[in-house]
Amino acid sequence: MTGRRSGDIGRAAEDRALAHLQAAGLTLRERNFRLRRGEIDLVMQDGDEIAFVEVRARQPGQFGDGVESITRGKRSRLVAAAAGWLQRQHGEPATRFDVVAVSPDGAIEWIVDAFRADD
C-alpha cells in the first residue's frame, strides 16, 4: 500500500469515526493534535470527560481488534501527546483513551476506555 493510499484510507476512517462519535453526542475539541513525541487522531469532549481517540483503519484479514493493533510504543506516544495537550488546557479534566476501529465495509467498533495511561 502506498503512503498516499494509506493516508487516504486513514483520513476516511477518521472522518467516519468522527461522524460516529458526534452522532453519539461527543464534541470535537481537536483533530490530529501533533507533538514531536506523538499524535492524537481525535480529542473529543464527552460530558465532563476528555476522550483521546485513536482511529484504526482495519483491513480484511488483519488479526485482532483495534486495541490489539496498538503496540506498547504507540500507547506511550499517545499518552505523551495527551499529556502535552492537557498542559495547554485550563483545569484537569477526567480523561480516557478510546479506540475506534473502522472496517473497509464501514463497520465501526468503538472501544470506550480501551486502555489507561499507566497500562
- The 10s digit of each residue's pLDDT in 98-108 is 999 998 888 99
Q: Which run of H or of E encompasses 53? A: strand 49-57
Structure confidence by residue, pLDDT tens digits, 36-86: 989 999 999 999 999 999 999 876 555 555 567 788 999 999 999 999 999
**Cα–Cα dist 116/97, whole Å:** 7
Indicate the pLDDT class of residue 91, thresholds 50, 70 and 90. confident
pLDDT at site 1: 47
pLDDT at site 62: 56
| Domains in the chain, CATH or no CATH each | 3-115 (3.40.1350.10)
